[in-house]
Amino acid sequence: MADVTNEPMYELLKKLNHRFDKVDHSIAELRNEIQSIRGTMIAIQQDVSNIYSVLGRHETRLDRIENRLELCELAEAQARFEPHP
């Protein structure tokens, strides 16, 4: 029977350990990239929220302007039918 030594087993374990180190490093890189993507998504959500806020303010201002214009238009239309001295 051939002599069985621990040397092949030791080499295999060293290779596995090296591969696990690579996997750990890759996972750490992926975590960093995901955190970066998450930060970017949060920034985009905040930007979109700010845009909606500004659009809401513009819509309110336009509504007020439209109301004023309608009042002016109604007054002008009414003035046409009133007798002038």
**For 15-52, how does the pLDDT look when each residue is reduced to its tens digit (9 = 90+)?**
999 999 999 999 999 999 999 999 999 999 999 999 99
Tell me the C-alpha distance between 62 and 68, whole Å. Answer: 10
**For 61-78, how does the pLDDT look when each residue is reduced to its tens digit (9 = 90+)?**
988 988 888 877 776 666
Q: Which secondary structure element, helix H or strand E, spans residue 30, and what is its range? A: helix 7-81
DSSP conformation class of 85: -
Distances (CA, A) of 76 to 68, 70, 80: 12, 10, 7
pTM above 0.85, yes or no: no
The three-class DSSP label of residue 19 is helix
| C-alpha count within 13 angstroms, C-beta hemisphere, residue 42 | 6
